[in-house]
């Protein structure tokens, strides 16, 4: 139930402070469900008493959109094994049908703490934040901010009424923030991180498998039919606690032609010996039969990959191939940007249909303001064109002979005068 609002003229400060808050009575007998004992699997759990009837306390559930919800939780016992369990325990919630489980807005994998729970509105956000940023303190501040903001809104609503309706009367003092309005505090940043780790490893889910094991199975199911890319990523290890003690120098990852991650393992160095076991494990997958591989260090370690995948063709990635050339150019030279554009034009060209649609959109002004041919030509000679529109244009590699011929002409155009004199520098 939600605490209803009364007429402002007769509403006390104590009652006004809880208007809109939600109270839950967690008793699954209201759904006419027979809950099997999770301990012996034979007996049917029987209701005993609630936490409120025993010690006059309510069970808090912290959410991200306001003050916590409060629950009177039924304690149940098994007549066979005398096992006692609360009605909001994770082993009970995961075995309930979905329509009944939705009445208690807490994911079963997060219903682990015996003192408080995190609501679905909070854990949905945390599932996105913590894997990427690992910032438990931010998640804790969000919960504290939601409670404090709701209190300020209550205070503003209360005193504004007395200012307008009862200007001659001094308003009664509102309830204190800490100790009365806020009687339970959300977990700390470390507590939220620990709760997330425990939830990921918990098998108390409707499908009976933890998120950790499910993610492993999904990665192990990824195959490859044409090409894959392998690389060492260092930025990922910043989210690991005590990464030096773990020996997490980098993460070796492998992705197939669809961008799906086929393998990801922590390694203490970039040496072949430290990721060879994971690479060999890929060969034992029935549907992992690649024809080519992209690497940022090719042809380094080509002997290992030739032994691992017979007949595998190695390729240097387009970005790293271009970078090996551009790193040797003088960045402060007046013709640096023009030389880089000429190099890219030698290696690939934009898809004709994509390029035509982009030019049409620029002229018609559907992307921004209308551009003339001269403005488009000037835009192409700047970095802005690549930064704005490169992601929308498919790249098509030029044939090998054409690429070699254009690269020779490009080198002659931009080489130093002290280079080979057979073809004069331009």
The DSSP result for 245-279, as a single string, is HHT-SEEEEEE-TTS-EEEEEEESSS-GGGTHHHH
Same-domain pairing of 26 and 142: yes
What is the per-residue pLDDT for 365?
86
Same-domain pairing of 36 and 157: yes
Q: How confident is the model at residue 260 (pLDDT cuts 50, 70, 90)?
A: very high
Strand 59-62 to 117-118 pairing: parallel
Identify whether 399 is part of a domain: yes
What is the per-residue pLDDT for 188?
92
Q: With a cut of 80, say whether residue 11 has pLDDT above it.
A: no
Identify whether 196 is part of a domain: yes
**Dihedral angle, C-alpha 152, 156, 162, 164, nearest 10 °:** 180
Same-domain pairing of 208 and 229: no
Q: How confident is the model at residue 421 (pLDDT cuts 50, 70, 90)?
A: low
Token pair for residue 106? 């807490």
Q: With a cut of 90, say whether residue 267 has pLDDT above it.
A: yes
* Percentage of the chain modeled with pLDDT above 70: 97
Length of the chain: 426
Q: What is the pLDDT of residues 326-347, one digit of tens each?
A: 998 888 988 888 899 899 999 9
Identify whether 425 is part of a domain: no
Identify whether 301 is part of a domain: no
Instruction: Give the residue from 163, 194, 212 where a domain finishes.
Output: 212
Instruction: Give the residue from 185, 212, 239 where a domain finishes.
Output: 212
Identify whether 47 is part of a domain: yes
Query: What would you report as the CA-atom Rg of the chain, rounded to the nearest whole angstrom?
Result: 32
Contact 266, 247 (CB under 8 A): yes
Q: What is the pLDDT of residues 163-176, one digit of tens each?
A: 777 666 777 888 88
Same-domain pairing of 107 and 28: yes
Neighbours of 143 (CB within 10 A): 21
Identify whether 15 is part of a domain: yes
Which residue spans within 15-169 are E strands per DSSP? 23-26, 46-50, 59-62, 69-77, 84-86, 117-118
Same-domain pairing of 208 and 244: no
Same-domain pairing of 229 and 173: no
Give the residue carrying structure tokens 């700047």: 382
Cβ-proximal residues to 244 (8 Å cutoff; 6+ apart), any chain:
none
SS3 content of the chain, % helix, strand, coil (to 5): 45, 15, 40
**For residue 71, cis peptide bond before it (omega within 30 degrees of 0):** no
Same-domain pairing of 225 and 192: no
What is the per-residue pLDDT for 392?
84
Same-domain pairing of 99 and 226: no
Q: Can you spell out the DSSP letters for 209-223?
A: S-HHHHHHHHHHT--
Identify whether 171 is part of a domain: yes
* Percentage of the chain modeled with pLDDT above 90: 50
What is the per-residue pLDDT for 87?
92
- Domain of residue 128, residue span: 1-212
371: helix, coil or strand? coil
CA-based nearest residue to 209, from 304, 94, 346:
94
Same-domain pairing of 266 and 352: no
What is the per-residue pLDDT for 419?
67
112: helix, coil or strand? coil
Same-domain pairing of 272 and 157: no
Q: What is the pLDDT of residues 81-137, one digit of tens each?
A: 899 999 999 999 999 999 999 999 999 999 988 889 999 999 999 999 888 887 889
Is the sign of the CA dihedral 108, 112, 113, 114 positive or negative? positive
Same-domain pairing of 257 and 332: no
Contact 413, 419 (CB under 8 A): no
Q: How many domains does the chain have?
A: 3
Same-domain pairing of 137 and 31: yes
Identify whether 309 is part of a domain: no
């Amino acid at each position: 139930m939600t605490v209803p609002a009364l007429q402002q003229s007769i509403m006390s400060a104590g009652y006004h402070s809880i208007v809109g808050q939600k109270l839950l009575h967690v008793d699954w007998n209201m759904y006419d469900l027979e809950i099997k004992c999770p301990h012996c699997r034979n007996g049917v759990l029987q209701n005993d008493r609630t936490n409120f009837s025993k010690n006059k306390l309510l069970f808090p559930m912290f959410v991200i959109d306001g003050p916590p919800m409060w629950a009177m939780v039924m304690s149940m016992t098994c007549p066979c094994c005398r096992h006692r369990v609360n009605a909001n325990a994770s082993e009970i919630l995961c075995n309930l049908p979905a329509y009944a489980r939705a009445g208690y807005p807490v994911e079963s994998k997060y219903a682990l703490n015996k003192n408080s729970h995190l609501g679905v509105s909070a854990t949905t956000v945390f599932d996105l934040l913590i894997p990427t940023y690992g910032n438990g303190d931010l998640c804790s501040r969000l919960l504290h901010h939601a409670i404090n903001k709701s209190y300020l809104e209550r205070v503003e609503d209360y005193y504004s009424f007395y200012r307008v309706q009862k200007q001659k009367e001094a308003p009664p003092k509102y309830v204190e923030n800490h100790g009365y309005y806020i009687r339970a505090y959300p977990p700390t940043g470390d507590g939220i991180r620990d709760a997330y780790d425990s939830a990921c490893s918990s098998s108390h889910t409707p499908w009976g498998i933890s998120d950790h094991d499910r993610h492993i199975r999904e990665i192990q199911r990824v195959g490859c039919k044409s090409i894959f890319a392998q690389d060492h990523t260092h930025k990922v290890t910043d989210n690991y606690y005590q990464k030096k003690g773990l020996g997490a120098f980098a993460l070796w990852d492998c992705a197939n032609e669809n961008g799906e991650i086929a393998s990801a393992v922590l390694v203490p160095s970039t040496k072949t010996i430290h990721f060879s076991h994971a690479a060999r494990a890929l060969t034992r997958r029935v549907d992992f039969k690649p024809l080519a591989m992209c690497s940022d260090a090719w042809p380094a370690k080509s002997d290992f990959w030739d032994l691992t995948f017979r007949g595998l063709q190695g390729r240097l990635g387009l970005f790293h191939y271009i970078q090996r050339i551009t790193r040797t150019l003088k960045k402060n030279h007046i013709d640096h940007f023009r030389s880089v554009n000429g190099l890219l034009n030698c290696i690939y060209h934009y898809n004709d249909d994509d390029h035509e649609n982009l030019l049409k959109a620029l002229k018609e002004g559907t992307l921004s303001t209308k551009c003339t041919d001269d403005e488009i030509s000037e835009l192409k000679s700047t970095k802005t064109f690549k930064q704005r529109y490169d992601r929308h244009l498919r790249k098509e590699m030029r044939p090998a002979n054409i690429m070699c011929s254009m690269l020779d002409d490009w080198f002659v155009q931009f080489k130093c005068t002290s280079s080979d004199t057979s073809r004069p520098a331009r």
